[in-house]
Structure 1
Amino acid sequence: MGTVVSLTVASGTAAQTAVDELQSAVDVVGEIFTQLDLTFSLYREGSEASRLVRGELTLAYASELMQELYAAASEWRVDTEGAFTAERPDGALDLSGIVKAHAMREAALSLGALGLQNWCLNAGGDVLVSGSPGPADTGFEDPNPWQAGIVDPFDRQKLISTYRLGASAEGGMTALATSGSAERGEHIWTVGSGRSDFLQVSVAAQDIVTADVLATAIVAGGTQTLDRSVEKWGVEVLAVGRTGTLLATPGFRNAP
């Protein structure tokens, strides 16, 4: 998917068991991302997604997963009033705006099936967590939450904010996604003409798909989509304007 995926696992078990658990977790997460990349990457000529773009395959005859993610993206397009879309300006299908979040969601299910409860998954700056960064056997009733950093789009060596993630954190947000043009250039199709109001948008939500989709939608739709997203989905948002101005919902204003 053209990005780096990292996994942090907190464990209070014996050293060798912890190593074995970590290797199993890395293997299962790596396999999920690899298989989805083989299907959905537009950088692979032989992928199903590339065949769809070239017209060698129609959606009606595509894989079940391709159809499912297209249907999910279409629902988000309606819900965001067109701010999020799976169609590029030239009409080609591009599900890259949702497939990474889907991969992270699937990875979370697999990590749970392995019995891992305390972990942090980072895929290209999008973060999904479970439990806390402390060992599972600490005995604390209220463990510390994970803390994610948000990079300054004007200086990639600095952070402009942090946000606490996890069931024990205020608001119970477990996912944080960031979208914008600061790192990858202008790759998001805005609603209407002209450039987006925002250089970068970060969204904290209770699931990674919602966070990822709305971060992209707000970049594309501007302040109206931001207001609508906060009201409809109850997410927390930190948006960086092109001149450096910040718009922050209470969760980010109160962040450490």
Structure 2
Amino acid sequence: MAARRSWVEQIMGLPVSVLARGERVDSARADAAVRAVFAELVEVDRVFSPYKPDSAVSLLACGQVGWDDLDPVVGEVAERCDRARELTGGLFDAEMADGRWDPSGLVKGWAVERAGERLREVSDLDWCLNAGGDVLVLCPSGRPFTVGIQDPRDPGRVVTSVARTDGAVATSGTAARGAHLYDPRTGGSVATRWLSVSVSGPSLEYADVLATAAFVAGDEWPAVLAALPGYEGLGILADGNLFATPGWPAVRSGAQ
């Protein structure tokens, strides 16, 4: 079995972990790459957190700054949010009903995917980067990592798993933070019989956006994934039943 090493930090209010696999997991180069990932995510949180009073998002909300006063990266994220709104037919929208701009539904996936480029620079190791259950996998060896899908009724249990050699898996639902997700169609919380929707595909940014939009869509969520090729989904109902799109890997209940 190949050597493994893991790192974990609390960033963005959630655990961010990196699992590396290969002969050079203890190298200074591997450690430096992971530290660069964490540093980049800390900086993204500083700029985009709606909970930090001096973040760009908070300063915009209270009118202390205008768009032209901000770092260009904020404008880039705003453009990405606009594209995500168009892609999902408005099911994803960073503009809140009260007029605030909150890009949280896109920023995490975008930031983790961007930070993951630091890991790609160490080409002789396999990596699994997990940000609070949204996962990016990079496996130059071609040997997959197994990504578990959490049971939204029991956070200590995995209901199924997905094997990936690259790409992403993102989940949206109410298990971690309750009914916090925003429905742009009503201006209120999402009302649905689904407990979670997981999306697997090539990009974590888009898997995250599509998972959010799919959860908002309710029973129509499979149609949301058709907006982009290469993305498949798994929904979990309140009674525990699972429903997968045709391209989702075979469901293996109780996988570890």
Inter-partner Cα distance in structure 2 for 1:84 and 1:231: 13
Q: Specify the alignment match of 2:158 in structure 1.
A: 159
In structure 2, the residue matched to 1:11 is 22
TM-score, with structure 1 as normaliser = 0.86
Distance 1:188 1:116, change over 3 A: farther
How do 1:148-227 residues align onto structure 2 when only pairs under 5 Å count? 148-167=147-166, 174-193=167-186, 195-227=191-223
Give the counterpart letter for 1:185 in structure 2: G
CA deviation map 1:27-64 (0-9, x unaligned): 10111111101101111111111101111122243221
Structure 2: distance between partners of 1:157 and 1:22: 30
TM norm structure 2 = 0.86
Provide the residue aligned with 1:98 in structure 2: 106
Q: Give me the CA root mean square deviation.
A: 1.9
What pairs up with 1:1-256 in 2 under 5 angstroms? 1-13=12-24, 18-115=26-123, 117-131=125-139, 143-167=142-166, 174-193=167-186, 195-230=191-226, 232-252=228-248, 254-256=250-252
CA distance in 2 between counterparts of 1:78 and 1:239 reads 23
Query: Cα deviation per residue 1:103-126 (whole Å; 9 max; x = unaligned)?
Result: 111112112234454111000001
Counterpart residue type for residue 67 of structure 2: L
- TM-aligned CA distance change 1:146 to 1:239, over 3 Å: same
Tell me how far apart the structure 2 counterparts of residues 246 and 190 of structure 1 sit (CA, whole Å): 23
- Flag the structure with higher strand content: 2
Can you give the 5+ residue segments of structure 2 that lack an aligned partner in the other structure?
A: 1-11
How many residue pairs get aligned? The number is 238
Give me the identity figure in percent.
Answer: 33
Contact conserved, 2:127 with 2:139, CA < 8 A, in 1?
yes
Native 8 Å contact 1:164 1:255 kept in 2: no
Unmatched 5+ stretches in structure 1: 137-142, 168-173
CA distance in structure 2 between the partners assigned to 1:115 and 1:175 by the alignment: 18
Compare the two structures and name the one with the higher helix fraction. Answer: 1
| Deviation sequence 1:167-198 (CA, Å, 0-9, x none) | 5xxxxxx2000111111111111254461342
